[in-house]
Amino acid sequence: MKDMPWNHPYLDLYRQKNIIICIGQGAWEGELLPSNRELDRILCEKQVPAWFDYWGFDVAHDWPWWRIQIRYFMEHIL
């Protein structure tokens, strides 16, 4: 995506969508954080609105947190 030209037709499609990316920063998240932050930066640079929601360092990639997150995001989406 970082090499995608500014006039690429997908960018206009992306700009019309509601993009939400939820990222915990706890267990099992460490090696993915840099690439998620890079995607955040690239989308911002390409003027594609996206909500990157970085959760705390206590938030793990696991069911208990997913249950909390789905309730939280459903309130914002619906």
Residue 34: the pLDDT is 93
The DSSP symbol for 62 reads S
Residue 4: the pLDDT is 74
Residue 29: the pLDDT is 83
| Residue 77: both structure tokens together | 């989406």
Dist. CA 49–CA 42, nearest whole Å: 11
Q: Where are the domains of the chain?
A: 9-77
Gyration radius from the chain CA atoms: 14
At 13, phi and psi to the nearest 5?
A: -65, -45
> Which pTM does this prediction carry?
0.82
* CB hemisphere CA count around 6 (13 angstroms): 4
CA 65 to chain centre: 16
State the 10-residue block means of pLDDT for the chain, 78 residues long: 79 93 88 93 94 94 94 90
For the chain, the straight-line distance linking the first and the last C-alpha, in angstroms and rounded, comes to 29
